[in-house]
Amino acid sequence: MTLVPQWRKWYKRWSTWLLALAGGLSAVTAFMPSVQAYLPPETYKMIMLGLSVTTFVALQIKQKSVSK
């Protein structure tokens, strides 16, 4: 197993930020029940699905700040 050449620039990738956003949203809804009143389960599911799809797309986009 070898690392990708740009592994030191992981924090600049859009996919990293989208995954962090998904994890943060999940943590907020789990640890702050008052947020669940503003975010119905169906809306939460659609947001997470959208973040998953955009993360996958972001992985495929070449980024000048990360690429050589």
More confident residue, 33 or 55: 55
List the one residue out of 21, 16, 1 whose CA is nearest residue 65: 16
Distance, CA of 22 to CA of 41 (rounded, Å)? 15
pLDDT in tens, 13-49: 889 999 999 999 999 999 998 888 888 999 999 999 9
pTM: 0.79
The residue whose two tokens read 């992985």 is 59
